[in-house]
Amino acid sequence: MKTFNTLLLAGALSLGLANTGLAQESAQTAKMLIEKAQTSTIGWDLLESLTTEIGPRLGGSEAEARARDWAVNKLTMLGFSNVHIEPFEMDGWQRGSIALHVGNPYPQRLVATALGGSIGTPVGGITAPVVRFETVQDLIDAPVGSLKGKIAYVADKMTRTQRGSGYGVAVQKRGAGAALASERGALAIIIRSAGTDYQRQPHTGGVRYKEGIPAIPAAALSNNDADQLDRLLRLKADIPLTLSMSSKRLGRVKSGNVIGEIIGSEYPDEVVLLGAHLDSWDEGTGAIDDGTGVSIVTAAATLVGKYAKPKRTIRVVLFGSEEPGLIGARAYVKDHKADMDKIIMVSESDFGSGRVWRMDTGIAKADEAKADAILRVLRPLGVLPGERTASGGSDVSALSGAGAPAISMVQNGWDYFDLHHTPNDTLDKVDPDDLAQNIAVYAAFALMVANTEGGFHAPEKPAAED
């Protein structure tokens, strides 16, 4: 295992911390935690155990229930207090099987996967000519009724970026495409995967149907197969496809969030909340999405509890059923309305194990100097100052949206969408050194936030416009 730049870390930490709320002693303790994280195997062991012993853990499934028991057991063994499950209900779903075939004159099979939550096709499948749209906007521009008896296909490619910002655009066709296509009369929709690889593996992910618009089957093609279909369509514009899917929506099923705490020594009621999600899609073993997040926040809080005395409580929340649509996060906000004002910081790890390279804040202006002091301790780990618009991450955005201060540790996501939501999301893709850097960042960050004098406050709301 490589070590971090120990020269930098070993150097005297004579930071100008006056008036930042961060005591020199807490900064030194944070520095010690950074060193501990380099040699600790807690994080890797958790990740290996979760992805091996549980494997895929679809929200609302029996496997996700086993993952909750796994988490309760691990948190208890690692010394957390108040370890418990907060249950909720949701609509279940079963992937089933899929087959997608091109008709004459170029008969062949294409590789596709059902989008999460999709309905199936009638037995025997749907055979219809395909209509191609370059972008979601082109689909929106198509007149109502114009796709009657057709299969819609949205073909736009995802752009690779370090921040993963190509995903926000690429994912629109996955979320909204089915309702838009159905509204225009389509029998089914297929999309190019919202992903950046060429491994001939489609990327799944949730589809959002719209109340009052008939649900239609929705599937994603691998990027290789989307290219193939594009070529076939150049040879024959209205080539027929046959899509057969046995996916089905189940009734109400059980899910839940798992919670554990490192209790604060001075202000136990005040909470630094670290989140990640326990569920995964069902095709890989959920290593980078979000086994790494579970491992990072759990290992970080464990190290704080083991080697430091945080003044405030550090609460780890392992959310259930994030992938089907932030269902656990919504349940958490609903159940915790009364103690919302006790949360002085939220942050979530849900972006694989790429190194943290930037810290974004979503806090009151008056608290920015405190965040700057924390950042100075994290600088030797390669963390840069970032934007002031952080939500904290996918699940905890429900909390920051409800008024909690947030900090986002921005990770390198250059390769993340090569694996995201695919069968290829497995343990071998995780670099132990990168994982350790994340754990070091979160451990030091959690301790310093827990010990910062005066705590943190939500950003001022923008003045209402007349």
Q: How far apart are CA 315 and CA 78, in angstroms?
A: 14
Q: Which of 72, 73, 121, 75 is nearest to 100 (CA)?
A: 121
HSE toward the beta carbon, residue 424, CA cutoff 13 A: 17
377, 349 Cβ separation under 8 angstroms: no
51, 291 Cβ separation under 8 angstroms: yes
- Taking each helix axis from N to C terminus, what angle separates 432-451 and 292-307, rounded to the nearest 10 degrees? 50
Q: How far apart are CA 187 and CA 170, in angstroms?
A: 22
CB of 116 to Zn ion, least distance (A): 12
Nearer to Zn ion, 372 or 415 (CB): 415
CB of 114 to Zn ion, least distance (A): 18
Q: How far is CA 245 from CA 112, 148, 173, 175, 229, in A?
A: 10, 20, 19, 18, 19
CB of 417 to Zn ion, least distance (A): 12
Nearer to Zn ion, 197 or 350 (CB): 350
The residue annotated as part of the active site, out of 261, 283, 322, 323, is 322
Strand, coil or helix: what is 360? strand
CB of 164 to Zn ion, least distance (A): 11
387 is catalytic: no
Nearer to Zn ion, 64 or 350 (CB): 350
Residue 11: DSSP 8-state: S
CB of 355 to Zn ion, least distance (A): 18
Q: Greatest CA span in the chain, whole angstroms?
A: 76
Handedness of CA 83, 88, 90, 92 (dihedral sign): positive
63 Cα distance to chain centroid: 19
Residue 158, phi-psi category: left (phi > 0), alpha (psi -120 to 50), beta (remainder): beta
Quick one: CA torsion of 324, 213, 119, 115, rounded to 10 degrees? -50
Nearer to Zn ion, 350 or 418 (CB): 350
Alpha helices in 53-184 (DSSP H): 62-77, 136-141, 166-170, 172-183
CB of 325 to Zn ion, least distance (A): 12
Nearer to Zn ion, 417 or 445 (CB): 417
Nearer to Zn ion, 282 or 290 (CB): 290
Nearer to Zn ion, 278 or 345 (CB): 278
* Binding of Zn ion by 367 (CB under 5 A): no
CB of 307 to Zn ion, least distance (A): 29
Binding-site size for Zn ion (CB under 5 A) equals: 3
Q: How far apart are CA 217 and CA 98, in angstroms?
A: 11
Binding mask 284-313 for Zn ion (x = CB under 5 A): -----xx-----------------------
HSE toward the beta carbon, residue 372, CA cutoff 13 A: 12
CB of 292 to Zn ion, least distance (A): 10
Enumerate residues 311-350 that contact Zn ion by CB under 5 A. Answer: 350
Q: How far apart are CA 394 and CA 317, in angstroms?
A: 13
Enumerate residues 7-26 that contact Zn ion by CB under 5 A. Answer: none
Enumerate residues 61-120 that contact Zn ion by CB under 5 A. Answer: none
Nearer to Zn ion, 142 or 439 (CB): 439
Residue 27: DSSP 8-state: H
Active site residues: 322
The residues binding Zn ion (CB under 5 A) are 289-290, 350
